[in-house]
Structure 1
């Protein structure tokens, strides 16, 4: 938006005796845009242009300001907060999807089924090693009686049962 002091300056100049037709460059300079943009707005009928292809400064500035107000007020996002929220949600979902794809590409993210399968294999190996512990201990420690080996076996199985009951 154009500040009030600049609008007052424009009004003063536009109403002065020097109010004569100006080029698109002059209008663009006053409005802080480019001559091609001014010509486009004129072709679209959003800024009035004289038959000699020049502009009257006051009507051109007023039309430009009015066009800005209409453009701002007619924004689909400005008039529809639900659409705005949906666009934000969609942008976040798209960003999350891209982030996930990047993590997969780097090998930093694996499918849950693959992780579960790998951990199941590790846990099977740990269980097998623990169940083999009593017989390994018996072969290395010759002084253990069959009763001692059976006690160690029961304790290992009790620990495995206890771990299995925790989910």
Structure 2
């Protein structure tokens, strides 16, 4: 195929075809003839590479990245809301209140143990009951001060 025909097919000037041939994008066979399919393939690859290079440095690509980031953040926010609505997630304050109530109830029951022991075991002396009370209070205090308890 001649340079003029290749230029017409690619909608370029003959000068542009000669330039592409110098850069080995247009495949020159002999005496000004060109391999149509090899030249088209090389030219398409050249255009893809040029577009990719422009895309990496353009303001448009930065805007695209920002839009993608914003879209991901919205999706994450929506997932959190959906998790709360379906009770997969609960607010930390609600969990803390619930555990505080449970532990206050447990503390109250534990502090009642010495009195119940005194009622059920009539042979315990006041000193025995005071010792049980002290052990329970010490254990509760220790548990309350232990970060890993």
Q: CA deviation at 1:112?
A: 1.0
Tell which has more relative contact order, 1 or 2 (C-alpha 8 A, sep 6+).
1
How many residues get paired?
114
1:97 correspondence with 2:77: yes
1:73 maps to which of 31, 47, 53: 53
CA distance in 1, matches of 2:71, 2:146: 40
Q: CA deviation at 1:164?
A: 1.6
2:11 maps to which of 29, 46, 59: 59
Runs of 4+ in 1 over 6 A off after TM superposition: none
Which residues of 2 match residues 131-150 of structure 1 at below 5 A?
A: 131-150=111-130
User: What is the alpha-carbon root mean square deviation over aligned residues?
Assistant: 3.5
Cα deviation digits, residues 98-154 of structure 1 (max 9, x gap)? 332222121011111111111110110011011011001111122211111111001
Normalised to the residue count of structure 2, the TM-score between the two structures is 0.59
Which residues of 2 match residues 78-89 of structure 1 at below 5 A?
A: 78-79=56-57, 83=62
**Runs (5+) with no aligned partner, structure 2:** 13-39
CA distance in 2, matches of 1:161, 1:69: 70
Identify the residue that residue 126 of structure 1 maps to in structure 2: 106
Identify the residue that residue 151 of structure 1 maps to in structure 2: 131
CA distance in 2, matches of 1:79, 1:129: 69
1:161 correspondence with 2:113: no
Q: CA deviation at 1:85?
A: 7.0
Q: CA deviation at 1:92?
A: 4.8
CA distance in 1, matches of 2:88, 2:54: 45
CA distance in 2, matches of 1:104, 1:155: 42
